[in-house]
Structure 1
Amino acid sequence: MKTEDLIRGLAADMRPGRSLEGGLALGVLAGVGAAALLFALILAPRPGLLPLLAEWRIVLKFAVTLPLAAASLMLALRLSRPAADAGRWALLLLLPVAVLVAGVVAELAATPPATWRSDLIGRYAPYCVSLIPLLAAPVLGALLLALRRGAATRPAVAGAAAGLAAGGLAAAIYALHCVDDSPLFMLAWYSLAVVIVTAAGAVLGRRILAW
Structure 2
Amino acid sequence: METRELIKALSADARRSRISMRAAWSSAVLAAVALAAAIFFALLGARPDIADAAQTFRFLFKFGVTVALAASAFGLANILSRPEADVRRSLPRIAIAPALLAAGVIAELAVTPPDTWSARLVGTNSLVCLTFIPLIGIGPLALLLLALRHGAPSHPGLAGAVSGLTAGGLAATFYAAHCTDDSPLFVATWYTIAIAILTLLGALGATRIARW
Question: TM-score, normalising length from structure 2?
Answer: 0.89
The 1:14–1:161 alpha-carbon spacing in structure 2 relative to 1, beyond 3 Å, is farther
Deviation at 1:128, TM superposition (A): 0.2
Superposed CA offset, 1:152-206 (max 9, x none): 1111111001001100110001001000111000011000001111000000010
Gaps of 5+ in 1: 1-8
Q: Which residue of 2 aligns with 1:103?
A: 104
Report what 2:5 is aligned to: none
Q: 1:50 to 1:86 in 2, by over 3 A?
A: farther
Q: Which amino acid aligns with 2:127?
A: P
Contact kept in structure 2, 1:58 and 1:181, CA below 8 Å:
yes
Secondary structure of 1:103's counterpart equals helix
Instruction: Tell me if the contact between 1:27 and 1:146 (Cα under 8 Å) persists in the aligned partners.
Output: yes
The residue type paired with residue 115 of structure 2 is A
* Aligned-pair CA distance for 1:50: 2.9
CA distance in 1 between counterparts of 2:74 and 2:26 reads 10
For 1:110 and 1:16, the matched residues in 2 are separated by: 53
Q: Percent identity?
A: 45
Letter of the aligned partner of 1:157 in structure 2? L
How big is the shift at 1:41?
Answer: 1.2
Consecutive aligned runs of 4 or more in structure 1 exceeding 6 Å deviation:
none
Give the whole-Å Cα distance in 2 for the aligned partners of 1:77 and 1:124: 33
1:74-105 deviation digits (Å, cap 9, x = unpaired): 11111111121243431121111111011111
Counterpart position of 1:210? 211
Considering only CA atoms, is the larger Rg found in Structure 1 or Structure 2?
Answer: 2
Deviations 1:110-160 (A, max 9, x none): 111111100000001011011100000111011111111101111111100
Determine if the alignment matches structure 1 residue 155 to structure 2 residue 156.
yes
C-alpha RMSD of matched pairs (Å) = 1.8
What is the aligned length? 202
SS of residue paired to 1:16: helix
Q: 1:15 to 1:202 in 2, by over 3 A?
A: farther
Aligned to 2:66: 65
Higher deviation after alignment, 64-73 or 77-86:
77-86
1:136 aligns with 2:123: no
| Aligned-partner Cα distance in 2 for 1:87–1:19 | 26
Q: Distance in 2 between matches of 1:105 and 1:146?
A: 37
Q: Aligned-pair distance for 1:208? A: 1.1
| Structure 2 equivalent of residue 191 of structure 1 | 192
Unaligned runs of 5+ in 2: 1-9
Offset, 1:14: 7.8
Could you tell me how far apart the structure 2 residues matched to 1:143 and 1:179 are?
A: 29
- Cα distance between partner residues in 1 of 2:132 and 2:55: 25
In the aligned structure 2, how far is the partner of 1:175 from the partner of 1:183?
12
Secondary structure class of the residue paired with 1:180: coil
- Residue 29 of structure 1 is matched in structure 2 by 30
The Cα of 1:51 is off from its aligned counterpart by 3.4
Amino acid across the alignment from 2:134: P
> How far did 1:21 drift?
2.5
